[in-house]
Amino acid sequence: MTDGFAVEVLHLTKHYGRRTVVDGLRMRIPTGAVAGFVGPNGAGKTTTLRMLLGLVRPSAGEGSVLGAPLTRPQRYLPRVGALIENPALYPGLSGEHNLAVLAALGGHDRSRIPEVLAEAGLTGRGGDAFRTYSLGMKQRLAIAAALLADPDLLVLDEPTNGLDPAGIQQMRELVRTLARRPGDGRVRTVLISSHLLSEVEQICDWIVVMEHGRSVYHGPIDGLMAAGGRSVLLRPQHPDHLGAMAELTTGRNLSVRRDGDRLRVDLPPSVPGERGDQRYLDAESAMDAVLAELNRDAFAAGITLVEITPVRVSLEERYQSLVGGSAVDHAPGTSPVAGVSRELEGTR
């Protein structure tokens, strides 16, 4: 396990009975990143966060958090703050008083209360009774509580869940600021989970995309776009050939969807070349190589392609193709033919 990563896991696995909910997960989160854990419901995000927090024991795998092994959570948990289950807060007590109770329970310094209230955007409201708070304020008080330990790693599970649009916006702005620790400039890493890519895109600089307990991408958020920002539209002369062409494409391990009388093929950042799994480094030549291969395959199968159009892909589309279309509805007029998830690792 290397320095420079606040979280690093390898082959992390969790079985519940015969169900595997986290399946050989491999990911790294750089120190100081605001990292987004994104994936459809049931992808295993919460279970992974719970394993990182020592709340659930992994069935297999290894890892480290803040440089200490996952098997020794007591070594790193004092430097971790988390909002994964709502803390028990007393409705009749003020925000400040609630924090004082939690500080006493957790052995934290009470003098940090004004600072954490400020960090959570609750300055001036700390004296009000908790029950008078809006849902967004309650959520921010829970974050203030997680900040009491001045953590090096802050873990927030779906922090915008249940909030109204104004509350969501305030929470997003807050999360963005949390990695910039006030005062001494020490680095803090923030890990949030969300099922919305658009949210993660606005808040985070690092992304882990999960599907069926695996990471299908982890790396810089720009990398998801750069890595897979290209598709190609193929139109056979005869629409009857769409199925056969789709099979040829999936045979090359590419993800393909039907789009009217055309097929839309997503190009990964590095693709199997003619010589086994040779990796192409240059996106343009990789694209050219794939197009040439598909064209040759089509010709050999007696299929005439009358259109081959390269297109750029939005991050949202890229996410859809990575999670096999299970996270977001397909655009009108398109339907999944096959979704091939592949593990892509971004680099910095």
274-313 mask for ligand ATP (x: CB under 6 A)?
----------------------------------------
Q: 47 vs 139, which CB is nearer to ligand ATP?
A: 47
CA dihedral of residues 134, 43, 2, 76 (deg, nearest 10): 50
41 in contact with ligand ATP (CB under 6 A): yes
Q: How far apart are CA 21 and CA 143, in angstroms?
A: 27
Interface pick for ligand ATP out of 7, 9, 21, 89 (rule CB under 6 A) = 21
Burial class (CB in 10 A: 0-12, 13-18, 19+), 107: exposed
42 in contact with ligand ATP (CB under 6 A): yes
**Minimum Å distance from CB 308 to ligand ATP?**
37
Q: How far apart are CA 208 and CA 34, in angstroms?
A: 11
Q: 57 vs 348, which CB is nearer to ligand ATP?
A: 57
CA dihedral of residues 293, 296, 298, 301 (deg, nearest 10): -130
**Minimum Å distance from CB 41 to ligand ATP?**
3
Q: 96 vs 157, which CB is nearer to ligand ATP?
A: 157
- Give the residue among 179, 57, 43 at the shortest CA–CA distance from 119: 179
According to CB under 6 A, which residues from 192 to 251 bind ligand ATP?
195
**Minimum Å distance from CB 107 to ligand ATP?**
29
**Minimum Å distance from CB 156 to ligand ATP?**
13
Tokens of 164: 């109204």
**Minimum Å distance from CB 45 to ligand ATP?**
4
39 in contact with ligand ATP (CB under 6 A): yes
16 in contact with ligand ATP (CB under 6 A): yes
Under 8 Å between Cβ of 89 and 109: no
Residue 332 CA, distance from chain mean position: 26
According to CB under 6 A, which residues from 52 to 91 bind ligand ATP?
none
Interface pick for ligand ATP out of 27, 29, 35, 46 (rule CB under 6 A) = 46
171-200 mask for ligand ATP (x: CB under 6 A)?
------------------------x-----
Q: How far apart are CA 98 and CA 258, in angstroms?
A: 55
Q: Choose the stretch contacting ligand ATP; rule: CB under 6 A; options: 42-50, 87-95, 166-174, 232-240.
A: 42-50
**Minimum Å distance from CB 227 to ligand ATP?**
22
Residue 35 CA, distance from chain mean position: 7
44 in contact with ligand ATP (CB under 6 A): yes
Q: 46 vs 139, which CB is nearer to ligand ATP?
A: 46
Pairing of strands 153-157, 80-83: parallel
Q: How far apart are CA 287 and CA 259, in angstroms?
A: 20
**Minimum Å distance from CB 213 to ligand ATP?**
7
Residue 230, phi then psi, degrees to nearest 5? -135, 140
Q: 44 vs 346, which CB is nearer to ligand ATP?
A: 44
Tokens of 54: 């020592």
Q: Could you tell me how many helices (H) and strands (E) the chain has, helices first? A: 11, 16
Spatial CB neighbours of 32, under 8 Å, sequence gap ≥ 6: 6, 179, 187, 188, 189
Under 8 Å between Cβ of 230 and 267: yes
Binding site for ligand ATP (CB under 6 A): 16, 21, 39, 41-47, 195
